[in-house]
Amino acid sequence: MEVFRYFLERSILFLLSGLVAFAGCGDAANILMNAILGKGSHYYITEAIGEQLVNKGHNVTHLVSNAFYKQASSRPSADIFNYEVFETAVPSEVIYQLYANLSKVAFLSGLNSQNIEIESKPIWHRYLDCQAVLNNQELLERIRKANYSIIIYDMLWPCLPIISKMLDIPLVGIISFPNPCMETEIAGSNVNPSYVPCTGIGFTNKMTFVQRFVNTFLYAFVPWLTTDKYVWYNNLLHEHYSNDSVELLDVVRHTELFLANSDFVADYPCALGPNVVLVGGLTSKPPKKLPPSLEDFVMSSGDHGVIVCSFGSFLSSQDLFEANSKLSIFISAFARLPQNVIMQLGHEPPFPLPGNVKILPWLPQNDLLGHPKTKAFVFPGGNNGFYEAIYHGVPTVVMPLRGDQFDVAARVTSTGIGVVVDKLTVTEDSLQHAIHQVTSTDKFANKAKKLSSIFRDRPMPPAQRAAFWVDHVIKHGGQYLQSSVHDLSRMQHILLDVLTVMFIMFLVLGVLAYKCSSRVLWFLYRCVTRKHLKNS
């Protein structure tokens, strides 16, 4: 009987899946997605969108590097995707070592020369990888023959726009950073540096005079820095595309749609272009059940609950702590807490662990944050983790290490859902105090729950919203959403030509007014003088 029931259920599921596939096959599109090399959080957000696109009946292919193909293809949802693998310009071992080095310098100051040198290497490697992809004729031919309806790409790597132009495939860009206005100015969003902070400097939208001065100074150079970023890739475009008059910056500007991994529930409100869709929280979703051993550890915490500590998927936690001797600080601080602590770490530490600390090489982060026993989240300020914490209403302790993590830290404090710990001065006492502060004071938990309520009160979840708009652009195109700002020069955009003419007009009017008033005054003076002389 059980066997019969099993086969009956399987048959029904097979029939239903067949009907769904048949119903969607008429509108099915082939979609190519890329998250640079295919590593970590950048890949996770494209994966989340890809899952929803597959649910809509589309065929999704991920373009990933050979260095991270194994990781991508072993993910739980890997079976629903196709994969195109490109060879990186340098051996995979060199790339792994590069990320290990990034982890080793993460606790150093951002102005440290060693840090700057190591941080700049991925930029050069990405350029070399783009060269390798564009020179791989077999790969390009496969992409051409696949008849892709659209390319969805991470805007951190402007190689896919070159392929898009070469093969005449529309583009959808993903912005993985916070600060949607500044990051989508290229899309036509309006940026005012008096209340929109530049990316990576950790300012809020409420700046002091000095901060506004610094922000405006940096903003003035953003267009030049952005243009400079595309200069190398521009050469590749001209090398592989016949029309030398086409500029890569213009190709990117005319991206059909921009998906920003951000949300005004936590980010600073600003004026976005109509072709920018906020889809912050792509990896946040209802929690699944924890593995039995992990569930037992969580439940053993009693009323005190658990603290979740993760340093994300981009950096190697093993290299991060081994190179900086910070692990003992964290473990010692955790040992002094009444809560149980679950920490992501690639290896067991070289010293005994306290009974309330559990080390795991990988964490089901979203599921742990959604557990009712979770009291706080200790993390470095990754954008995905930030929105997962908001989705589940969990207060945070953030210790930013690099890049946009300082912006996330500013948003943590400005929204009131947590506190910030300085990576350069962190001690057992300061870390324990920060965790105690967010777990013993109701205001952080209440604020996090309030934001969670707002964040969830939407017609559809972020990944579904992203998939809807991609599907919409495939059907109708996105040109009608694009602002005419793309047709203006920089001088026209900031109305410098109009202001110049107005200045000249007022100057001429001022001169004429001066001349006329001088003549009138001189005439009056002559009249008065003559009358005075006549009377004398």
Domain boundaries, the chain: 30-87+136-189+232-283+461-487, 292-456, 497-535
Widest CA span in the chain: 134
Are 30-87+136-189+232-283+461-487 and 292-456 in the same CATH fold? yes
Answer yes or no: is pLDDT of 68 > 60. yes
Residue 258 CA: distances (Å) to CA of 242, 278, 480: 27, 9, 14
pLDDT of residue 130: 94
> What's CA 208's distance to the chain center, in Å?
26
Q: What are phi and psi of 14, to 5 degrees?
A: -65, -45
Answer yes or no: is pLDDT of 322 > 70. no
Decide if domain 30-87+136-189+232-283+461-487 falls under CATH 3.40.80.10: no
Instruction: Identify which of 160, 37, 151 has the alpha carbon closest to the alpha carbon of residue 87.
Output: 37
Please state whether beta strands 357-360 and 374-379 pair in parallel, antiparallel, or not at all (unpaired).
Answer: unpaired
| Mean pLDDT computed over 376-397 | 96
Element (H, E) at 292: helix 292-299
CATH topology of domain 292-456: Rossmann fold (3.40.50)
pLDDT of residue 10: 43
Question: What single letter denotes the amino acid at residue 438?
Answer: V
Task: Report the alpha-carbon distance of residue 255 to residue 313 in Å, rounded.
Answer: 28
| Mean pLDDT computed over 462-475 | 97
pLDDT of residue 69: 92
Residue 231 tokens read as 């200069």
For 87-142, the pLDDT digits (tens) are 999 899 988 888 888 777 777 776 666 767 777 788 888 999 999 999 999 999 99
What is the average pLDDT score of the chain? 88
Q: Is the pTM of this model over 0.75?
A: yes
Instruction: Identify which of 191, 198, 171, 177 has the alpha carbon closest to the alpha carbon of residue 258.
Output: 171
| Mean pLDDT computed over 395-407 | 93
Please state whether beta strands 340-344 and 306-309 pair in parallel, antiparallel, or not at all (unpaired).
Answer: parallel
pLDDT of residue 318: 60
pLDDT of residue 467: 97
Answer yes or no: is pLDDT of 187 > 90. no
Task: Report the alpha-carbon distance of residue 377 to residue 369 in Å, rounded.
Answer: 8
Confidence tier at 182 by pLDDT (50, 70, 90): confident
Q: What's the DSSP call for residue 271?
A: B
Task: Report the alpha-carbon distance of residue 249 to residue 524 in Å, rounded.
Answer: 63
| Mean pLDDT computed over 332-354 | 89
pLDDT of residue 2: 44
C-beta neighbour count of 239 within 10 angstroms: 12
Confidence tier at 225 by pLDDT (50, 70, 90): low
For 334-344, the pLDDT digits (tens) are 999 999 999 99
Q: What are phi and psi of 312, to 5 degrees?
A: 80, -175
